[in-house]
């Protein structure tokens, strides 16, 4: 009788990881890029980051109180959303842009759908999309790093051509982040250092970011006619690194199946390359990930493994 088999309900596999620990890992991974944005854009970066994070945390607390839910600001998810939103805002933006963006990200995209884990789309990306549609001039006015900030065109805008003219910065400056752009997306080097930490901690896996970036590169090389050097500008400039490693990998808005994650990354890569090559907007990462977020439930449904013993 001592060796009886005891059956219990799922889950049978448990982990010591908590939401707050995972969010803390993401914040640690974002720390190099945060410090880099402050170094390049000075007080403007500090102002926008603080406003975005504080607005996100305060909004979460107020909405949860109003909806009579437990206040969960200690899980750090609102801090991550605020910081990622700030990373997607140009240094020249006025103070009220991150405030409105954070209120929208937390109040509408996250809490209105049930809170953490229930949002079908990445809150920070949705907020950026809303801000870009509402105030396109503010959200696309870039300044050069340093104390004497002047308006400049991003490398992607120069590559796009049209009415935008200018000389491309060196690939090294693009890689380290010494260019105009949104706060946290300019330095591919610092973002990759943070991504390496996320891989080390097991917070993310290779499927989505590698398939995303790889697909984008292949399509640009095959159909872009840009050559290898200009393709590297597409990889390191803009939001591809930030989006692939930190936003497309969002647990609640991306597929959970291994095959689904690869399909998700390939789809986002195709959309990004098509928008950059044929669209009127030189970027495309935000809209690509959001479109694939909407498709994530269908991808999971089509790629979910068969239940053991299932019959038709």
| Residue pLDDT, tens place only, 172-209 | 988 998 888 888 888 899 999 999 999 999 999 999 99
Whole-number pLDDT of residue 163: 47
> Given this model, what pLDDT does residue 166 score?
59
Residue 4 lies in a domain: no
Q: Is residue 235 part of a domain?
A: yes
Q: Does a structural domain hold residue 13?
A: no
- Asked whether residue 99 is domain-assigned, the answer is yes
pLDDT value of residue 125? 93
Provide Rg for the chain, Cα atoms. 20
* Sign, Cα dihedral of 266, 271, 274, 277: negative
Residue-number span of the structural domain to which 131 is assigned: 19-302
Q: What is the CATH number of the domain that holds 109?
A: 1.10.3430
Q: Give me the helices (H) in 140-249, please.
A: 155-160, 171-176, 188-201, 207-223, 227-236, 240-242
| Domain assignment of residue 41, yes or no | yes
CA atoms within 13 A on the CB side of 127: 31
The predicted structure's pLDDT at residue 3:
65
pLDDT of residue 226: 66
What pLDDT sits at residue 2?
59
Specify the number of domains making up the chain.
Answer: 1
Q: Note whether residue 264 is domain-resident.
A: yes
Nearest 5°: CA angle at 182, between 250 and 96? 90
Read off the tokens for 310.
Answer: 């299932």
Is residue 2, in this structure, part of any structural domain at all? no
Residue 312 lies in a domain: no
Burial 2-24 (b: 16+ CB within 10 A, else e): eeeeeeeeeeeeeeeeeeeebbb
pLDDT of residue 229: 81
- Provide the whole-model pTM: 0.89
Residue stretches of the chain with pLDDT short of 50: 1, 163
């Amino acid at each position: 009788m001592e060796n009886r088999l005891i059956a219990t309900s799922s889950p049978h596999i448990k982990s010591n990881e908590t939401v707050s620990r995972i969010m803390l890992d993401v914040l640690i991974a974002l720390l190099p890029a945060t410090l880099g944005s402050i170094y390049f854009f000075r007080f403007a970066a500090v102002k926008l980051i603080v406003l975005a994070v504080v607005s996100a945390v305060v909004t979460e607390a107020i909405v949860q109180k109003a909806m009579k839910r437990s206040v969960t600001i200690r899980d750090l998810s609102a801090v991550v959303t605020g910081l990622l939103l700030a990373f997607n805002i140009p240094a020249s933006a006025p103070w009220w842009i991150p405030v409105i963006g954070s209120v929208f990200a937390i109040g509408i995209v996250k809490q209105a759908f049930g809170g953490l884990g229930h949002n079908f789309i990445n809150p920070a990306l949705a907020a950026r999309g809303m801000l870009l549609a509402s105030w396109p001039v503010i959200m696309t006015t870039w300044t050069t790093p340093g104390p004497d900030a002047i308006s400049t065109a991003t490398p992607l805008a120069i590559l796009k051509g049209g009415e935008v003219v200018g000389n491309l910065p060196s690939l090294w400056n693009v890689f380290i982040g010494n260019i105009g752009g949104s706060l946290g997306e300019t330095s591919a080097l610092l973002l990759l250092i943070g991504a390496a930490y996320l891989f080390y901690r097991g917070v993310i896996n290779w499927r989505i970011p590698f398939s995303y970036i790889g697909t984008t590169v292949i399509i640009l090389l095959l159909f872009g006619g840009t050559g290898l050097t200009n393709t590297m500008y597409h990889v390191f400039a803009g939001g591809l690194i930030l989006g692939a490693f930190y936003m497309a990998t969002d647990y609640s808005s991306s597929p959970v199946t291994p095959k689904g994650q690869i399909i998700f990354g390939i789809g986002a890569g195709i959309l990004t390359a098509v928008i950059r090559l044929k669209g009127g907007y030189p970027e495309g990462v935000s809209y690509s990930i959001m479109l694939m977020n909407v498709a994530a439930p269908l991808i999971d449904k089509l790629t979910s493994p068969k239940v053991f013993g299932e019959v038709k």
